[in-house]
Chain A
Amino acid sequence: QKEVEQNSGPLSVPEGAIASLNCTYSDRVSQSFFWYRQYSGKSPELIMSIYSNGDKEDGRFTAQLNKASQYVSLLIRDSQPSDSATYLCAVNGADSWGKLQFGAGTQVVVTP
């Protein structure tokens, strides 16, 4: 079992709709959770961080965390073609706060 799991996609989303991305993690003691956006050939870009159960909103992005169920999700509202990218879920390692464990990423394609 992978430590951080994501659906690889591609997730096709009409422009203006909500994109919903899910991520599950295996280690219950993880405390920090992050979403990165990566355009093809570019570096991962940190877009959201969440540390407590519940929702955290930042612009068109909402991160949701449920530690009991060990999942974290990302909602992208009013999806735009510029949101087309791979979204990486990352979780801090149980044995090291400094070590991020990444999922393989979900490719999102926003269609006009």
Chain B
Amino acid sequence: EAGVTQFPSHSVIEKGQTVTLRCDPISGHDNLYWYRRVMGKEIKFLLHFVKESKQDESGMPNNRFLAERTGGTYSTLKVQPAELEDSGVYFCASSQDLGWGAFFGQGTRLTVV
């Protein structure tokens, strides 16, 4: 069974540009999460989808971040326009049930220059 996959693995963009990250969760997992780790800090929650609905987006930093999960399958996280402080590793995770541990993808390392 395939795990959580994320694309791209690395992205380097200039300040002000737009970047879209993609996540394919484990098949059958209704719960999908986005997390971020900025340098030197702990992993921080961004948001949680249950199927196609946003269950909790309390961790989204500002309105430059837009997450979607059309059809309840894969998800995208768009940053527009990107700022320097958006640099970090963006992890996607999925789980079958709430309260269970989530399985993480390999992450997308975003560098904004």
Contact = CB atoms under 8 A, between A and B. Distances in A.
Q: Which of B31, B45, B59, B95 lies at the interface centre, i.e. has the most chain A CB atoms within 10 A of its CB?
A: B45
B43 interface: yes
14 contacts: A4-B42, A36-B101, A44-B104, A46-B102, A46-B103, A49-B101, A88-B42, A88-B43, A96-B55, A98-B33, A98-B56, A99-B48, A100-B43, A102-B42
Contacts, number: 67
Q: Which of A2, A4, A93 lies at the interface centre, i.e. has the most chain B CB atoms within 10 A of its CB?
A: A93
B99 A92 contact: yes
A98 B98 contact: yes
B43 A102 contact: yes
B45 A43 contact: no
B43 A44 contact: yes
